[in-house]
Structure 1
Amino acid sequence: MSAPIRPTGPDYLVTPMRRAARMDHGFYDWRDTHGAAHLEFGGGVKLGIWVQLAAEWFPMDTTGQPFLPLGAPHRPWPDSQVYTQRDYGLRIGIYRLLDALAARGLEASLFLNARVASRYPELMRHVLASGHDIVAAGLDMGAIHHEGLSEADERAMIAEALEILAGYGIAPSAWHSPGWSQSSRTPALLSQAGITAMADWCNDEVPYDFATGQGSIVALPNLIELTDKEMIGRSKARLHEYEAAILRAARRLLAEAEQSGSGRILPLHVTSWLMGQPYRIAGFERLLDALAAMPGAGFVTVPQIRAATTTLA
């Protein structure tokens, strides 16, 4: 019998900490949902609805290294069709999302690429006046954090993003990496830069402590499967299917929160160039209304999530 064919590929496919234990890294110990952090939102809220508005800028010359994030220009230069549709989201679509929230008196977290701030000053004035929570979302959607970067280069990327935001008086405590991608050094570098929470890992519905080797950071829950980019952009779900999936998730999480006695979080991650389209914005508005009417559910942002976390596992 011939020897098995072993896959070959770039070094970033290697898992250097592969071991017999359950985890292949030293960031946190394995646990299940019964060992999760305890969430107490107060006011009868068992399910925190965390609205995340993605404000993303895709450079036209995105290199694709180490991968093209979902939504990036991908056709031969210049991919004006994709580039301008993403630009539409930052000039038009995002205002529909912000207006929908304002009409209902709701707060959200803006997942903001720093270069959006420098390229769209009018949007920044509007966002700052709205009072929404700001989550630093890297430099732009072409500046991917990955293992192939040097530590110095990655540190400089984080510092530049935070410096741009500081120029607008923004000092975010939370971070979200472009393309949901990190290197093994990213959490430590974020902690060194003063970031205390991140929303890149998709493995929980409550926050948990994340050991970086350079101090602790809190991993905030996120669900990539329920984002509009994943469901509508990639999987081509119809709007009513997307709405139904969000509401099914909310009902299940609320039931589990009531059963366990500890709160849960449902991230509602929406993208300006997708959900801000004129034929989709009504779906976002319907979701906000349905979730607001759900007994036991309430809208939260990063400060409220951190305040509600009474015990970290």
Structure 2
Amino acid sequence: MQEGAGDPQLYDYAPYRGRKKVVWPGGKTVAVWVAPNLEYYEIDPPAHPKRKAWARPHPDVVGYSHRDHSNRVSHWRMAEVMSKHGFPGSVSLSVALCQHHPEVVADGAARGWEFFSHGIYNTRYAYEMSEDQERAIIADSIRTVREATGQTIRGWLAPALTHTPRTLDLIAEMGLDYTCDLYHDDQVQEVKVRSGRLASIPYSLEVNDHYGFFVYNMSGREYADTLIRQFERLAAEGEASGTVMCIPLHAYLIGQPHRIGPFEEALRHIAADGRAWIARAGEIIDAWRAQA
């Protein structure tokens, strides 16, 4: 087999042991960031030839209304628990939410949350987009979030985790400096792009509440225990070199009445431990860049 065949050349290989030591502020061993996905799903989106938006025929009233719980009820429940224990959000934002439900975006901004783009709608997929179409979505994201919050987005999580071969190059070229779309590491890493600089920040699928409840069929308490075990291991390993723990959330899942209690217990545990640097995504990237 030809050496390097199939390697997309997105990043260099760096074995976990023996890397340059990363030190987080205050001597903390693990940077912990919470990524609420504030999303908007269309009830009857345009059909895409490669992927169905809903499991049921459109309009999928059940799927739509289940997710709409986020923007009506469970966002507030989730956000209040996060604020209570000192966890700011770094928001994976469907930027159409700025028009559809500006109250939700305004609440996050008032809490000092950071925003990055998760595309326009979570029911529009990047597959087969032209370069011009993809550029337009990135530009729309930058403009819309700036108008709604005053912030200039720095990060990107592809809508519904869908990409083109040029996505990472384009977001770097248009001024963004971190991506959540690579799941290959527990530390910040450099990404190879044709211009600009781009870092990958760990964004976990393993402790994403969507995977926890829909894929691994966890109870609320099992999920909370998973967060604690993830934290304990990364905090211990971070003694050698600072690690990163992401807690990706969807309010319509974690903010349900029967799940929010165990989740709050997990946040309380992490906040009280003393080894966590509780930060926003951009702060983690800046601290890493300062010593990379």
Same-fold call, TM > 0.5?
yes
Alignment of 1:289 onto 2:268: yes
Offset of residue 89 of structure 1: 0.8
Taking the aligned partners of 1:36 and 1:179, their CA distance within structure 2 comes to 32
2:221–2:259 Cα contact (<8 Å) kept: no
2:17 is paired with a residue of what secondary structure?
helix
- The residue correspondences of 1:182-261 to structure 2 (distance < 5 A) are 182-258=163-239, 260=240
**From 29, 38, 45, the counterpart of 1:46:** 29
Range that drifts further, 196-205 or 73-82? 73-82
Q: TM-score, normalised by structure 1?
A: 0.86
Instruction: State the secondary structure of the residue aligned to 2:262.
Output: helix
Residue 142 of structure 1, CA deviation: 1.5
Structure 1 residue 189: deviation in Å?
A: 0.8
Question: Deviations along 1:126-178, whole A, 9 cap, x unmatched?
Answer: 222111111221111122223x2211111112122222212212311111112
Q: Which letter does structure 2 place at the counterpart of 1:298?
A: W
> What's the offset of the Cα at 1:37?
5.9
Contact 2:92 2:118 in 1 (8 A): yes
The correspondence of residues 19-58 of structure 1 with structure 2, limited to 5 A, is: 20-21=3-4, 24-34=7-17, 36=19, 38-58=21-41
Change (3 A) 1:94 1:191: same
How far, CA to CA, are the matches of 1:86 and 1:60 in structure 2?
10
Q: Which residue in 1 is equivalent to 2:72?
A: 91
- Describe the shift of the 1:303–1:38 C-alpha distance in structure 2 as closer, same or farther (beyond 3 A): farther
For the Cα contact (< 8 Å) 1:114–1:136, is it kept in 2? yes
- 1:66 corresponds in structure 2 to 50
Q: In structure 1, what residue type is equivalent to 2:91?
A: L
Report the CA distance between 1:182 and its aligned residue: 2.1
Give the Cα separation in 2 of the matches to 1:113 and 1:19: 41
Q: Which residue of 2 aligns with 1:302?
A: 281
**Cα gap change, 1:233/1:295 in structure 2, threshold over 3 Å: closer, same or farther?**
same
Task: List alignment gaps of at least 5 residues for structure 2.
Answer: none
Using the TM superposition, name which of 263-272 and 153-162 deviates more: 153-162
Q: What SS class does the counterpart of residue 279 from structure 1 fall into?
A: helix
Measure, in 1, the Cα distance between the counterparts of 2:122 and 2:220: 25
Bigger mean CA offset, 40-49 vs 270-279? 40-49
**Counterpart contact for 2:88–2:113, Cα < 8 Å:** yes
Identify if the C-alpha distance between structure 1 residues 308 and 95 changes in structure 2 by more than 3 Å, giving closer, same or farther: same
User: Aligned with 2:28: secondary structure?
Assistant: coil
> 1: CA distance between counterparts of 2:174 and 2:153?
11
Residue 164, structure 1, aligned to residue 147, structure 2: no
Residue 152 (structure 1) aligned with residue 145 (structure 2)? no
**What residue identity is the alignment partner of 1:179?**
A
| Distance of aligned partners of 1:158 and 1:303 in 2 relative to their CA distance in 1, 3 Å threshold | closer
Percent of paired sites with the same residue: 25
* TM-score when normalising by structure 2: 0.92
CA distance in structure 2 between the partners assigned to 1:159 and 1:81 by the alignment:
32
**Aligned counterparts of 1:173 and 1:216: Cα–Cα separation in 2:** 11
Whole-Å separation in 2 of the counterparts to 1:205 and 1:299: 16
Structure 1 residues 19 and 53, CA, compared in 2 at 3 Å: closer, same or farther? Answer: farther
Deviations 1:45-65 (A, max 9, x none): 101111111111111124355
- 1:36–1:58 distance in 2 versus 1, CA, 3 Å: farther
